[in-house]
Amino acid sequence: MDYELAIVGAGPAGYSAAIYAVRSGLKAALFDRGDGGGRAVLSPSVENYAGFESIPGAELMEKIKHHAGRYIQPHLYEEVTGVAKSGSGFSLSTSKGKYSVGAVLFCTGTEHKTMDIPGEKEFLGKGVSYCATCDGFFFRGKTVAVVGGGSTAVMEAVFLKQIGCKDVFLVHRRSQLRAEKVYEVEARERQVKVLLNKEVDRISGDTVVRALELRDAQTRQASRLAVDGVFISIGWVPQNDLLKKLGVELDAEGYVVVNRFGCTSIPGVYAAGDLTGGVRQIVTACASGAVAAVSSLEALGKKYPF
């Protein structure tokens, strides 16, 4: 075989898995369709990763990538397009070739959840964004809205205010935010304007975004909020297409069902990180990647001194 273990996805889970796999004596390969880092690189500030009181997500992932580079050279910009059972192992197809591997560890994470409302697709790149750290710079001095009520949404609202957006609205459909309290306190201190019980019916504009068409979740009264941009941060969906085709068991939300060792319903197939649901934090992604990598030794006929 070409590799004993193929790791798909070079985010926190994938990089950690690579470190543990190679240190355990496995011949491993790490694949990513982009330049690695996962969605952690989009976080303006990570304040709950042990050892770093505050660090930009991109900087943290660069450190993790550098560490992993001591053990493995990832196949960046090489997308895994197919995985199939082949003999006692698996056949892996990528955008650049085919590989024979003994086991596969999926760390493909999640992608942005869309609102599926009028104007969302039409104004993508014309005022609609899913990443404040990527596009916030273009809205300095302007009025923007962040749609969502979780920690990521509130952090993005704070970031947009911090870089100089004139007014920042946080639009949430429920009666209270779901974010960690510390982020909510900071948002209010920075004068982020929180609009609760507001559903977004439409994103309207001409050549660019001009407004959000809102509806009160309780009274159903319609209103209009003039904005120059809107950042959508309403959650994530697991990137599970390859696992679906393999027939791996998924839960009702599409997350991969694993045991405490990262084993899926198919022998030799493992999963770790945000793809498996749970609290979906960088620290838990790293831990689960390490556990799954070590667990894969068993499927490969090796042992680890637990």
DSSP 181-219: HHHHHHHHHTT-EEE-SEEEEEEEESSSEEEEEEEETTT
Which of these is catalytic: 2, 131, 167, 216?
131
Active site residue 216: no
Active site residue 134: yes
Q: How many other CB atoms are there within 10 angstroms of residue 241's CB atom? A: 12
Which of these is catalytic: 32, 35, 135, 216?
135
Please tell me the distance from the alpha carbon of residue 186 to that of residue 177, in angstroms, as a whole number.
13
Active site residue 135: yes
Residue 134, SS3 per DSSP: helix
Which of these is catalytic: 2, 107, 116, 134?
134
Residue 198 · residue 175 · CB < 8 Å = no
Identity of the residue numbered 132? A
What does the radius of gyration of the chain's CA atoms come to, in whole angstroms? Answer: 21
The distance between the two most distant Cα atoms of the chain, rounded to a whole number of Å, is: 64
Which sequence positions are flagged as catalytic?
131, 134-135
